[in-house]
């Protein structure tokens, strides 16, 4: 049975259930499996999407969920996806494919992991009789995916803080039109950073944290990454690897899921890290120096990140899985805002990883080119991936760009790039008419805490 350890080496070995509920380790590190399970790629032949998910996850969840239980949850999680293939592949050029990961309830890939996680939480909580309050801050995609994964589920309620007036209308409405009693949307008079600080402050208030049994939803949860490894396996089997993936990247979560699939034995030859002008990762893979800059707003806002939280997991492997060494490096990074890895290690990483930065103009150009030449409209995040795939794909291999969001989630940027205004899918065409529900609140901890205390669930 696989146990989990922290990338910073303290706290001993943990079970999947502990890792699922805790998110972050107590020493500030991230959980990783103590060893990598391996699977024969032939074990995935002929499996549909839900079966692929259950098979990938089974070695990671042993002792908590068996493969049959995983399959039951995965079937339920993906039943509502709008495409029968769940994660369909579209060919856009001779060796180039797009994997559409936006057919879930909130039109972005985050639904893949969160729809499953909501069900995992519900089962684990039902067994122990516990209840939790999930709190989180969002700049758009994560909050809505988490709300849709949690709404109406037993044992949990969810409170999401968003910066009032600073998320797109579609993103806001995907949160505020959910009317289940266990969902609380707080519109904070402040910025996204204020929202994040308020969430951190709630966790730091030990009495409040214990009374409400706070839990987090963020991109560092191990179970989220492992669930995402499934679509890499699904594509690798369909296109009969070796193959490459191009991944629009922010927090290094999605592309790390590709690394998980590769470590498990799937024939993945290259993982292309695609960044917008917030390019800390592209710079790292160029010269081995990981140095935080300032965040610039772009038309691919879900990738406007300078410090990629999941990168620590890769650094742990780079340092031979030595937790004390990783902890020292992360402490130095917190102080200096930069770190570097030896060139021999960088060369090893480059066997598997490539990286490209794609600027705003090239992103818009890519959207326009595909729309006019192939009649295929992609969102700006996907366009960053496609442009990076074109620049960095190995020869004579299929390359799959992960399409992380539906174009209708970013209609203004898409229309500006190609003159076509993408429409919401029919199943949510009334989103702009549905009634909204949210509570306005000052950016003050006491005001937020009072709102949560007065929440009658
Ligand atoms: C979250 C997100 C990303 C970035 O994913 P990471 O796992 O943070 O690298 C890319 N595109 C879209 C649309 C997203 O919502």
Average pLDDT over residues 383-399: 96
Residue closest via CA to ligand 1's atom 14 equals 302
> Could you tell me which of 122, 133, 131, 179 has the C-alpha nearest to residue 157?
133
Domain spans of the chain, in order of start = 89-105+223-418
Using the Cα atoms of residue 263, residue 264, residue 270 and residue 272 in order, give the sign of their dihedral: negative
Gap from CA of 251 to ligand 1 centroid (Å): 7
Round to whole Å and give the CA distance between 251 and 109: 14
Residue 409 alpha carbon, nearest atom of ligand 1: 13
Ligand 1 binding site (Cβ under 6 Å of any ligand atom): 108, 110, 141, 219, 248-254, 302-303, 381, 404-405
Closest CA to 161 of 196, 208, 132: 196
What average pLDDT does range 45-68 have in this prediction? 97
Please state the atom number of ligand 1 nearest to the C-alpha of residue 381: 11
Please identify, by atom number, the ligand 1 atom nearest to the C-alpha of residue 253: 7
- Does residue 101 contact residue 402 with C-beta atoms inside 8 Å? yes
In the reported structure, the alpha carbon of residue 188 is separated from the centroid of ligand 1 by a whole-number distance in angstroms of 23
Tell me the per-residue pLDDT of 185-234, one tens digit each, with 9 for 90 and over: 999 999 887 898 899 899 889 899 899 999 887 778 999 999 999 999 99
**Better pLDDT: 217 or 339:** 339
- Name which residue sits closest to atom 2 of ligand 1, judged by CA: 302
Helix (H, G, I), strand (E, B) or coil at 123: helix
Which stretches of 361-452 are assigned E, i.e. beta strand?
399-403, 439-442
Which atom belonging to ligand 1 lies closest to the Cα atom of 251? 8
CA distance 251 to 429: 31
Q: Which residue has the CA at smallest separation from atom 11 of ligand 1?
A: 404
CA of 456 to the centre of ligand 1 (A): 33
Question: How many CB atoms sit inside 10 A of residue 351's CB?
Answer: 9
- Choose the catalytic residue: 110, 200, 240, 270: 110
Residues 231-260 pLDDT 10s: 999 999 999 989 999 999 999 999 999 999
Using pLDDT thresholds of 50, 70 and 90, give the confidence band for residue 399: very high
Q: Percentage of the chain surpassing pLDDT 90?
A: 85
Q: For residues 242 and 266, what is the distance between their CA atoms, to the nearest angstrom?
A: 8
Dist CA 299 CA 26 (whole Å): 36
State in Å: Cα 439 to ligand 1 middle.
27
Per residue in 344-363, pLDDT (tens digit) is 999 999 999 999 999 999 99
> For residue 457, what pLDDT band results from cuts at 50, 70 and 90?
low
Distance 255 CA to ligand 1 centre (A): 9
Instruction: Tell me how crowded residue 143 is: count the other CB atoms within 10 A of its CB.
Output: 26
Q: Tell me the pLDDT of the chain averaged across its residues.
A: 94
Q: What is the distance in A from the centroid of ligand 1 to the CA of 211?
A: 32
Q: Which atom of ligand 1 is nearest to the CA of 141?
A: 15
Instruction: Give ∠ CA 303-307-310 in degrees, rounded to 5.
Output: 85
Active site residue 110: yes
Torsion sign over Cα 18, 19, 24, 30: positive
CA 317 to CA 258: how far, in whole Å?
15
| Fold (CATH) for 89-105+223-418 | Rossmann fold (3.40.50)
| Whole-number pLDDT of residue 220 | 86
């Amino acid at each position: 049975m696989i146990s989990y350890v922290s990338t910073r080496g303290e706290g001993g070995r943990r079970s999947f259930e502990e890792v699922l509920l805790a998110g972050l380790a107590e020493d500030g590190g991230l959980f990783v499996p103590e060893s990598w399970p391996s699977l024969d790629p032939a074990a995935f032949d002929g499996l549909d999407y839900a079966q692929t998910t259950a098979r990938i996850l089974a070695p990671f969840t042993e002792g908590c969920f068996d493969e049959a239980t995983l399959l039951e949850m995965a079937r339920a999680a993906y039943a509502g996806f709008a495409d029968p293939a769940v994660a369909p592949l579209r060919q856009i050029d001779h060796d180039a494919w797009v994997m559409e990961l936006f057919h879930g309830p909130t039109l972005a890939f985050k639904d893949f992991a969160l729809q499953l996680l909501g069900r995992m939480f519900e089962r684990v909580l039902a067994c122990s009789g516990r209840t939790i309050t999930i709190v989180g801050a969002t700049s758009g995609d994560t909050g809505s995916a988490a709300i849709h994964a949690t709404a109406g589920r037993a044992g949990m309620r969810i409170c999401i803080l968003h910066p009032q007036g600073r998320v797109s209308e579609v993103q806001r409405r995907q949160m505020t039109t959910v009317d289940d009693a266990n969902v609380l949307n707080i519109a904070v008079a402040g910025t996204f950073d204020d929202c994040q600080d308020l969430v951190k402050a709630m966790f730091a208030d030990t009495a409040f944290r214990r009374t409400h049994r706070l839990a987090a939803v963020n991109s560092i949860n191990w179970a989220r990454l492992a669930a995402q490894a499934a679509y890499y396996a699904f594509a690798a089997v369909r296109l009969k690897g070796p193959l490459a993936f191009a991944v629009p990247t922010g927090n290094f979560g999605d592309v790390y899921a590709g690394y998980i699939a590769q470590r498990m034995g799937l024939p993945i030859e290259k993982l292309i890290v695609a960044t917008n002008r917030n390019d800390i990762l592209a710079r790292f893979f160029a010269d081995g120096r990981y140095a935080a800059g300032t965040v610039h707003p772009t038309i691919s806002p879900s990738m406007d990140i300078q410090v990629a939280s999941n990168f620590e997991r890769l650094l742990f492997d780079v340092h031979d899985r030595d937790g004390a060494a990783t902890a020292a490096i992360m402490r130095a990074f917190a102080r200096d805002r930069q770190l570097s890895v030896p060139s021999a290690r960088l060369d090893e990483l480059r066997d598997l990883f490539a990286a490209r930065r794609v600027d705003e103009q090239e992103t818009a150009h890519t959207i326009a080119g595909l729309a006019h030449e192939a009649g295929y409209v992609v969102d700006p995040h996907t366009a960053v991936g496609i442009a990076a795939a074109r620049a960095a794909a190995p020869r004579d291999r299929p390359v799959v760009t992960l399409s992380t969001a539906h174009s209708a989630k970013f209609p203004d940027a898409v229309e500006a790039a190609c003159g076509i205004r993408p429409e919401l899918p029919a199943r949510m065409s009334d989103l702009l008419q549905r009634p909204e529900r949210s509570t306005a609140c000052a950016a003050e901890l006491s005001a937020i805490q009072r709102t949560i205390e007065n929440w009658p669930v």
